[in-house]
Amino acid sequence: MTDSVRKAEAHEAFWKKAGAVVLIFMLILYLSLALIRWQTKGTERSSFVLPVISLLDHGSFFIDEDDVETAGELFPEDREFYRAHYDEHLPVTKNGSRYPYYLGIGAPLCIPAFCACRLVGLNPGYAFPVTFALLVVLALWVIYRFAKISESKKVLAILLLGFSPIILYTGWWEYELPMFAFVLIAMVFWLNRWRKLSALFLSLAGTMNSAAMAFGIFMIIDYFLEMLAESGWSAREFVRRFVKSWKKTAALAVCFLPSLVPFVICYIGMGRWNVQGAGVIQGLGGRFLAYLFDLNLGLFPYFPVILFLFAAAAIWGGVHGKRSDMLCTFFGAMATVAAYSLHYHINSGGVGIARYNAYFSPIILLGTIYYIDASFSGIWVRRLCSGLAALSCLWCVFVVGATAFSPLRGSPFWWSPIAETVLEYAPGLYDPLPSTFHCRTDHIDGAYDISEPVIYTNVENYVRKVLVPPGMLDQAVQQLSVPEEDRAAFDKQCAKVKRTDKYYYLDFPAGTHIRKDMYYYLNVLASTSAKKSIPYELGTVVSFDGTEQDAHKYFLRGMSYTEGNTSSWTDGDSAELYLTLGDVPEKDLLLSLQVGGIYHGSQQMVVMSAKKVLLDESISDISVPLDIVIPAECVGEDGTVDIFFGFPDAASPLEMGESVDGRVMAFALQSFSLREADGISG
C-alpha cells in the first residue's frame, strides 16, 4: 500500500468520524428545537391532528364531528381553532365529513408517538414536532450511510441541508419537515441511480403535496432516455428492449403508485381529484421567478451561489458529458418550482422562505454537491466549486440565523431582514409581486386583492416604496406628504407611471423624508367608518379600567386591551372615538385625555373632527391631561361627535427589536372626558 493510498484512507476515515459527530449534533439540535418550539404549531395543523384522531378512532382520513370533539378534549386551548377549521376551512366530502388538505403519509407517521404520549400522560402535541424532527435526522443519516460521494462531501451535504431554511420550521405540526425528509431521501437514491427506491420515496412525499411529482415525471423521462440511448437511438430496438424489460418497467411504475392514493381517496370522498391546486392562474411566470429569486420567500437569498453552481454543473455535465440524468435533474427541479407556482397561495406559511422552497431545496443542494465532480474535469475547477459550495453553507447559516434571531423570527406576514435592508437603502433593486408587497407591508394573509396604493415605511415611518395599482397614481400622491427638498425625486418617480393598465413601484431610498399624509388617512377613515350608538353624558370621566364602563366601548378602532386595569395602548397608526351626546351642545367642547405612557419618549398626535384639524403636535409631557377643543360645529345634528386620532410615529416593539410585542403603539391612555369648554377659546 502506497503512502498516497494510506493518506487517502486516513482522510476518508477522519471525515467519516466527523460525519458521525455532525449527525449526532443534528439529532440533538433538531430534537431540542422540536421540544422548545413544539407549541409553534402552524395554522394548518388541523390537517395533521384531526387525521391522526380519525385514523385511530375509525380508520379513516375523513374527519367527523366526534374527531373534532376529541381534538378539543386533547387540546382544550385550541378547541375553538379546530372547531372553526372543521366548520369553515377543511373541504367537505359527499357525506358531510371533512377532508384534510394534506392527506398523505405525514399524519400516520405521527401515530406511534401520539399514542406513546397519551400512554405516559404527556401532551400528545409533542408527537408531531418530535416525529418530524426525527424524520429530518433520518434523512441526513441516509446521506451519511448511502450517498455515493466522498466522506468530506457527505459532511458538507449534512451541514448544508441541516442548516438549510427547513430548520426554521421545527416545532410546526405541518408537512414541511416530512416533505423535506422524503424529498431528500428520494434525491440521495436518485443520484445513486437507485430508481425504484427514489421513485418510492418521492411518491411518499407526493402523497402530502402533489407538486413533488413534477420531478417524478422527469425520472420517468430519464428512464426512457437511457433505454433509448442503449438502443442506439433506434426506435425499433427501443420497442424491443421495452417489451423485453416490461417487468422492470412495471416494478418502477408500482413505486410511483403511492402518490396516486390521495387522488383516488379525494375523488371517492369529494368527486374531485385534488384540493391543493387551484388550476392555472395569472402571473405564473412571475410566481415562478419569485420562488427562485424573491428576497422574502425565494431560494436566492439563502443559496445565491448554489443556484448558479447547480445550473452550471447540471447543464454542463448533461450537454458535454451526455448525461441525460443531469439534464433531467435540472429540468425536473424547474418543473417542480413551476408545479407549486400553480398553487393559489404564495404569501402564507413562509417562515423566512416559502415553505414549498423549504421542502424542495434538497434537489438543488444535493444535486450541486454530486454534480460538481461529475461535471467538471479540471481539478482546480472542482476545488473552486467545492470551496464555493462550502462558503455557501456559511452564508446559509448566517441568513438562517439572521432570520431566526430577528425580532420577527421569520414571521410569514412580515419582511425578511434582507428584504428590509434592500428596501431601506436600494428599494429600486427589489420589485416583488404586488401580492407579496401587499402581504408583507400590511401583514395580512394572501393579499391578492389590491384596491388601493400600498405604502411601505421604515421604522422611522419614512416612506421607502409605494405600490401603485393600475390608474391610481393620483390616489397614491394624495396619501404622501413630500417635503420641498424631496420634491424633485418624488416627481421623477411619478414620471415612471405612464400606463393605466399595470402596476408600478415608486422608490424613495434612504435620505428622503417622505411620509404618509395623516390628514388624508383620517379623512378616509371618517368617510368609511361604521358607526355605533353609545350614549355618553358630558362631564363623565371614563377610564380604561376593565369594568363594564371601560372606555373601550366608545372607541370604534385603534385601542388595544386594558393592561393592569389602568391603561390601554393605542394599536395602529390611527384611532376613532365616537360619542352620542343626545342634545346638541351650544358651546365648544373640551376633550381631556389622561396619557399614561408614550412609546419612545415623544409621539406626534394628529386630531381631527368633521375634517377639521384640531391638533397636530409632538407630545412628550404626560404629567398633565392633554386638552383639545372640539368646536361646536363639529357635533353632528344628531348629537354625535366623531373624533379621529392619527399617530404617524407609532412603532412596533417587535420591529424595533425591543420585545416580542407586535402591536403598533404610540400612547397609553388612562382616561378621557368631554365637557363644555367654558371660557376656553378654540
Q: How confident is the model at residue 263 (pLDDT cuts 50, 70, 90)?
A: confident
In terms of residues, how long is the chain?
682
List, edge to edge, every strand of the sheet that includes 454-457. 454-457, 463-468, 504-507
Beta strand 542-543 with 667-676 is antiparallel
pLDDT digits (tens, 9 = 90+) for 538-580: 989 999 987 766 888 899 889 998 888 889 999 988 999 999 9
What per-residue confidence (pLDDT) applies to 658? 78
Q: What is the pLDDT averaged over residues 492-516?
A: 93
Q: By three-state DSSP, how is residue 294 classified? A: coil
Give me 24's grid cell: 449526532
Where do we find the cell 402591536? 663
In whole angstroms, give the CA distance from residue 632 to residue 641. 10
What per-residue confidence (pLDDT) applies to 281? 52
Element (H or E) spanning 307, and its range? Answer: helix 304-320
Average pLDDT, the chain: 88
**234: Cα within 13 Å, side-chain hemisphere:** 7
What per-residue confidence (pLDDT) applies to 679? 55
Other C-beta atoms closer than 10 Å to the C-beta of 247 total 8
Give me 655's grid cell: 420591529
Residues paired with 213 in a beta bridge? none
What CA–CA distances, in Å, run from 435 to 89, 281, 465, 507, 512?
22, 13, 14, 17, 25
Other C-beta atoms closer than 10 Å to the C-beta of 384 total 14
Dihedral angle, C-alpha 168, 173, 179, 180, nearest 10 °: 20
| pLDDT reading at 326 higher than 50 | yes
Q: Degrees (nearest 5) of the Cα angle 514, 520, 524?
A: 140
Q: What is the pLDDT averaged over residues 589-617?
A: 91
**520: Cα within 13 Å, side-chain hemisphere:** 12
pLDDT digits (tens, 9 = 90+) for 159-197: 999 999 999 999 888 889 999 999 999 999 999 999 999
Q: What are phi and psi of 421, to 5 degrees?
A: -65, -45
Q: What is the pTM of this model?
A: 0.83
Q: What percent of the chain has pLDDT over 90?
A: 53
Give me 632's grid cell: 361646536
Give me 15's grid cell: 471525515
Element (H or E) spanning 579, and its range? Answer: strand 574-580
Beta strand 574-580 with 555-557 is antiparallel
Q: Do residues 283 and 240 make contact, with C-beta atoms less than 8 angstroms apart? A: no
Q: Hey, what domains does the chain have and what are their CATH numbers?
A: 131-404 (no CATH), 417-516 (no CATH), 527-676 (2.60.120.260)
Where do we find the cell 390616489? 475
Helices (H), 343-452: 355-375, 379-404, 417-425, 434-442
What per-residue confidence (pLDDT) applies to 140? 97
What per-residue confidence (pLDDT) applies to 444? 84
Q: What are phi and psi of 104, to 5 degrees?
A: 50, -165
DSSP type of residue 429: G
Amino acid identity, position 516: K
pLDDT digits (tens, 9 = 90+) for 637-681: 888 899 999 999 898 887 777 777 778 899 999 999 999 887 544
Q: How confident is the model at residue 414 (pLDDT cuts 50, 70, 90)?
A: confident
What per-residue confidence (pLDDT) applies to 487? 94
Q: How confident is the model at residue 277 (pLDDT cuts 50, 70, 90)?
A: low
pLDDT digits (tens, 9 = 90+) for 372-410: 988 888 889 889 998 999 999 999 999 998 888 877 766
Angle between helices 111-120 and 46-58 (to 10 degrees): 80
What per-residue confidence (pLDDT) applies to 627? 93
pLDDT digits (tens, 9 = 90+) for 81-126: 899 888 888 888 888 888 888 778 888 999 999 999 999 989 999 9
What per-residue confidence (pLDDT) applies to 681? 43
Closest CA to 359 of 482, 190, 206: 206
Residues in Cβ contact with 465 at an 8 Å cutoff, skipping those fewer than 6 apart: 423, 427, 437, 455, 456, 505, 506, 507, 508
In whole angstroms, give the CA distance from residue 242 to residue 219. 16
